[in-house]
Structure 1
Amino acid sequence: MYVLAPALLALMATSVAAKSQGKTQGQKMSWQDKIKNVVVLVEENRSFDTFAGGFKYSCDIDGLVNLKFCNPANVSGPASVRVCALPIAKNVAPDDPNHGISGVSMQLLSTYHPDEAAVDIGNEEETMMGFVTEQASTYLTTNISRAAEVINYYAPQNVRVFGTMAENFVLFDRWFAAVPGPTNPNRAYLTSGTSHGHGRNDAAFNYAALPQRSIFQQLSENGIEWINYQNSTSKLALNTTIGFNPDSLFYNWTYTSGAWKTNIKPIADFYKDAKAGKLPAFTYINPECCSYDSFHPPSPITTGENFIKGVYEALRSSPQWNETLFILTFDEHGGFADHVPPPVGVPAGDDLTYTELSPDGKNMTFNFQRLGVRVPTLVISPWVGRGVIEHKGTNNGGEYTHTSIAAFIAKLWNLDSLTPRIEWSSTFEHLITDELRDDTPVTLPNPKPF
């Protein structure tokens, strides 16, 4: 295999920069002209407060630095002891909090059945109070310290890879998961604008059974190249024994079209393609799940940080860097606490509902018209500002949520909106500036053991 010499790679990058700078100085480029490659990495199971709530580099961040956020140990006990968030979260979370839809209802609304309760879901004083209660209930513990791990957060020095990226690019502090529930429904919303009525990680995701049109199908139909790189040693197969399939293989089209054989590659190919300047227009990366680099408990924070460092540095050193936009987000909060109530009354992806048996033995039905909990999200590119804090979305009338990615690429490449949720979601093209930065870090700090 022919490998480009480092000097030639540097020359190519300089040439791309000069070409971009020249057009900027002469004929003004549109934002679509600047972004030729979109890279999306979706990590696992951390809320905004847990991961980024302790950041101190900007007083504009809606986090926990100047906020005392507490939960009662028992939401049904008026005199219950209060448990307050502290920056002492552990490298390896001792427990995996409940993040099923009914459990998340308890975390957010202090009830498994919000349709039956007189809770004001628009009143912040009546929401986000059930995280510690649900954790204690899930693990049948009266150990307050153990239950409190769900509300504790990371000191900045313990997430310094992510923190350095945030300080150098754009951090969203009001980006919500698409579904107040688990991994695969959120990943389906992110990649197709709906979960087709699925509210749990059921077998349909492992059998490529979802029938809806996805962004992967949409891109192929429009002649736009894409690759789903997966960081897993599992062999691709349509069964329930290999763990989580890569997200593009949720969909029946990916199987029947044969794209699962041509467009899904191992993560090693990502690093090779980035180095050679051969990444496709759309790159989608699946971390492994769920033990070493995905941040999903029991994944250590340090190994997850090392993984995102490697992805960033591969992109930063790629000849394609000056035309790249990298989106790093988390699929859902994983049951970890956050203090900002998710928006309600939002458009669903379709008219399907989901019903599950809640921990109290009663059925609860969800209509997908409430977003999930805030998750830490970055937009990274030499075309965005340094240290920008982005709050509520400013266009489409909606919020920033996972379907904002599909809405953004629809605008970037003149595609149709797949679902009402995508049509509603706010996009972020206004963050792309007219200045090609030359001060973006080439390398990031190593994770700090703790």
Structure 2
Amino acid sequence: MITILSTITAVAVFTGLTAAAPDKRVIQTHSDWRSKIKNVVVLVEENRSFDTFCGGLDYNPSIDGLLKHNYCNSMNATDPKQKADVCAGPLAADVAKDDPNHSISGVNMQLFSTWHPDESAVNAAPAWKYENMRGFVTEQATAYNTEDKARAAEAINYYTPDHIPVFETMAKNFVLFDRWFCAVPGPTNPNRAYITSGTSHGHGRNDNAFGVFGLPQKSIFEQLSEKNVSWINYQNSTTGPGKGFNPDAAFYQWTLASGANATNIKPIQQFYTDAAAGKLPAFTYINPECCSYQSFHPPSPISLGEAFIKGIYEAVRNSPQWNETLFILTFDEHGGFGDHVPPPVGVPAGDDLTYTETATDGKNITFAFNRLGPRVPTLLISPWVGKGVIENKGSNFGGEYTHTSILNFLSELWGLDKLTPRVAWSSTFEHLILDQKRTDGDSPKRLPDPVEWV
């Protein structure tokens, strides 16, 4: 039961090829797009895959979701004889009972139906040849030691438009990417490091380095400071020192050494004040809390996550800076939730470092950061982008859309160096910026109220 709380398309067919080289990109753009965007706002939410969050969207038939796929897993994907009879349905809960495993080894099971894929073979072959995307239910059943198919199916069940009216309204009014992959097939902080620096410097889990300004690589925050481009990392941590996750700018040694931790990391309340006053910096980066009530990360209710993104959108939309702003909303990783599209393999890593961990079976796996993670929901919001656009391209433009696409776009916007090979490879999206701004009445100033259900 649900209770109220308060076109252009570019259809592409997944080819299954490994990632194409960036020099094959053929995107056409106009010459003055940089003059239109003065402010970029990035909000990175937590732990939802494209299919489970957007798989039920039906406003455009080209959306590659679950309405045209009978997506099923089995309880034991390692047994090829076991029938895939646990199928995704529009049954996802407001509060997920279980938080799916999203370690790199756990994601291996979800994508390959084994914790130990042959990495040399995988990265030399089409993604579809090895990534069957059929192990999400198996990993869920293993992680929670359950034989209850309904409980394990929560990892692949999806939401309907009635469940996510805030997100759906934003998608229908702006640009939805349905082929945007997270940067790492693993957990939060390695993905957030890729989002903000183009590499995780060999970190494949949420280890202590992220909490103590421990990463040595150059970040987008350092780059912007060098170019005298203003930035603030607004964050909504309510867990206190030493608990929860640091805001992403606080991952880096430079942030502490430069004093930017004191001058450029501010509470979320300041974001709303700055937006209303038209004083947002050129680059706004927003961390939600993590991971209890508004980040979408289980056990955060979807309804409270919707309330949070509604507030961010309305602050941006009604700011005096709206007409010069590009707002990017994405999710850091799939969080162990299911998706039917195999992620690209054989992609450039951020560096030459590898990561090793012990899988559930007690054997080690080593990962070289040369595969992307599953698709995540991503929106491009601005009066300078089209209405109801579905951006669903394959690899024929060069790289793929992934988290480092944001860094590549910023490098083009502000003349920054490409931080890593992954950044340089990633598709950018300036071709989606319109020649003429949409009229003020062509996008909602207020969004629907979120809903809650059981």
Identify which of 64, 67, 86 aligns with 2:66. Answer: 64
**Match in the other structure for 1:405:** 406
**Match in the other structure for 1:24:** none
Bigger RCO of structures 1 and 2 (CA < 8 A, at least 6 apart): 2
Counterpart AA for 1:258: G
**Match in the other structure for 2:27:** none
Deviations 1:48-101 (A, max 9, x none): 000001000000100011111111121133134511110110000000000000
**Match in the other structure for 1:201:** 206
Q: Is 2:120 aligned against 1:94? A: no
Deviations 1:168-215 (A, max 9, x none): 000000000000000000000000000000000000000111000000
Matches within 5 A, 1:28-67: 30-67=32-69
Tell whether the 8 Å contact from 2:72 to 2:84 is kept in structure 1 after alignment: no
Change (3 A) 1:264 1:273: same
Q: Is 2:128 aligned against 1:123? A: yes
SS at match of 1:158: coil
Tell whether the 8 Å contact from 2:41 to 2:284 is kept in structure 1 after alignment: yes
SS at match of 2:266: strand
Matches within 5 A, 1:303-314: 303-314=304-315
Tell whether the 8 Å contact from 1:394 to 1:426 is kept in structure 2 after alignment: no
Tell whether the 8 Å contact from 1:71 to 1:132 is kept in structure 2 after alignment: yes
Q: Is 2:301 aligned against 1:300? A: yes
Runs of 4+ in 1 over 4 A off after TM superposition: 116-121, 393-396
Q: Which runs of 5+ in 1 are unaligned?
A: 1-27
Identify which of 104, 107, 110 aligns with 1:107. Answer: 110
Tell whether the 8 Å contact from 1:111 to 1:117 is kept in structure 2 after alignment: no
**Match in the other structure for 2:143:** 138
Change (3 A) 1:101 1:125: closer
**Match in the other structure for 2:248:** 247
Residues 431-440 or 128-137, more deviating: 431-440
**Match in the other structure for 2:224:** 219
**Match in the other structure for 1:13:** none
Change (3 A) 1:276 1:59: same
Distance 2:142 2:64 in 1: 29
**Match in the other structure for 2:389:** 388
Distance 1:267 1:121 in 2: 43
Change (3 A) 1:393 1:30: farther
SS at match of 2:164: helix
Change (3 A) 1:395 1:226: farther
Tell whether the 8 Å contact from 1:70 to 1:82 is kept in structure 2 after alignment: yes
Counterpart AA for 1:276: A
SS at match of 1:305: helix
How far has the Cα of 1:391 moved from its partner?
Answer: 1.3
**Match in the other structure for 1:16:** none
Distance 2:133 2:397 in 1: 27
Tell whether the 8 Å contact from 2:187 to 2:335 is kept in structure 1 after alignment: yes
**Match in the other structure for 1:275:** 276
**Match in the other structure for 1:336:** 337
Tell whether the 8 Å contact from 1:395 to 1:426 is kept in structure 2 after alignment: no
- The number of residues matched between the two structures is 419
Change (3 A) 1:262 1:117: closer
**Match in the other structure for 2:366:** 365
Deviations 1:417-450 (A, max 9, x none): 0000000000000000012112111000001221
Change (3 A) 1:411 1:368: same
Identify which of 186, 192, 215 aligns with 2:191. Answer: 186
**Match in the other structure for 2:3:** none
Deviations 1:225-245 (A, max 9, x none): 00000012245x5xxx22100
Distance 1:363 1:69 in 2: 30
Counterpart AA for 1:73: M
Counterpart AA for 2:88: A
Counterpart AA for 2:35: D
Change (3 A) 1:131 1:266: same
Distance 1:194 1:402 in 2: 11
**Match in the other structure for 2:159:** 154
Distance 1:316 1:301 in 2: 22
**Match in the other structure for 1:14:** none
Distance 2:160 2:129 in 1: 25
Counterpart AA for 2:174: F
Distance 1:248 1:225 in 2: 14
Distance 2:233 2:297 in 1: 20
Distance 2:119 2:366 in 1: 11
Identify which of 72, 83, 86 aligns with 2:86. Answer: 83
**Match in the other structure for 1:21:** none
**Match in the other structure for 1:449:** 452
SS at match of 1:184: helix
**Match in the other structure for 1:350:** 351
**Match in the other structure for 1:259:** 260
Deviations 1:346-368 (A, max 9, x none): 00000000000010000100000
Counterpart AA for 2:204: G
Distance 1:158 1:440 in 2: 21
Distance 2:163 2:428 in 1: 30
How far has the Cα of 1:124 moved from its partner?
Answer: 5.9
Q: Percent identity?
A: 69
Distance 1:398 1:76 in 2: 32
Q: CA RMSD in A?
A: 1.6
Distance 2:435 2:426 in 1: 24
Tell whether the 8 Å contact from 1:132 to 1:147 is kept in structure 2 after alignment: yes
**Match in the other structure for 2:317:** 316
State TM-score, norm by structure 2. 0.90
Tell whether the 8 Å contact from 1:396 to 1:424 is kept in structure 2 after alignment: no
Deviations 1:32-63 (A, max 9, x none): 00000000000000000000010000001000
